Amino acid sequence: TNIILADTTDDIAGYATPFPNNTILLNQTPPLLSIPYEDWLLLELTHEYTHILQLDAVHGIPKALRYIFGRLYFPNTLQPAFLTEGIATYEETLHSRGGRGRATFSKMILRTSLLENRFPSIDQAAGGRVCWPGGQTQYLYGAAFHDYLAERYGPEVFGKLSLGYSGQVFPYLVNRNARAVLGESYPKLWEEWKNDLK
């Protein structure tokens, strides 16, 4: 994995991509105080490297296609953002004393959305949400949803989900993968999690 340290912007975000090669760009600007962290670069690297491990995974027919045609098809990149960003935010929290999953700001957003009956649907958490908290929805709700899944099925389930989806020839069948690994669809689990939070 190539790691690029950038000092050209005040943007706090980094990014990771498996195409054409595994690459992580880390901006060296720390976040606002609403996100707890003890070492910002370590937190950011944990988040982005989780993306690399998940997004680059292939097996079965996709692995054979990659062997023949090269690094063109990455099944795990074709998942909703609450899954890809959710697992990375969950891992950044799990492997540090900080992280957005542990932030009081994040907990406040979840609690307020429940109290005001504005809890996003799973479709809204898939990405592109316009209303509050906007682009943070997939990170904050995704991390909390992964925390719920870890409590219910154990943290080892994430490896099974990633491996299962990385072997799919046809993308976007995330609920088929969820049923195979978890026994239930993501929308059903999302509603159960929401009711559990209430």
How much is the pLDDT for 33? 60
**For residue range 48-90, what is the model confidence (pLDDT) as tens digits?**
999 999 999 999 999 999 999 999 999 999 999 999 999 999 9
Stated pTM of the model = 0.92
Of 120, 125, 22, the C-alpha closest to 77 is: 22
Give kind and range of the element (H or E) at residue 27.
Answer: strand 23-27
pLDDT of residue 29: 79
How would you classify the pairing of strands 23-27 and 2-6?
parallel
Residue of 121, 129, 135, 16 lying closest to 76 (CA atoms) = 16
Neighbours of 188 (CB within 10 A): 15
Q: State the Cα–Cα distance between residues 127 and 193, nearest whole angstrom.
A: 19
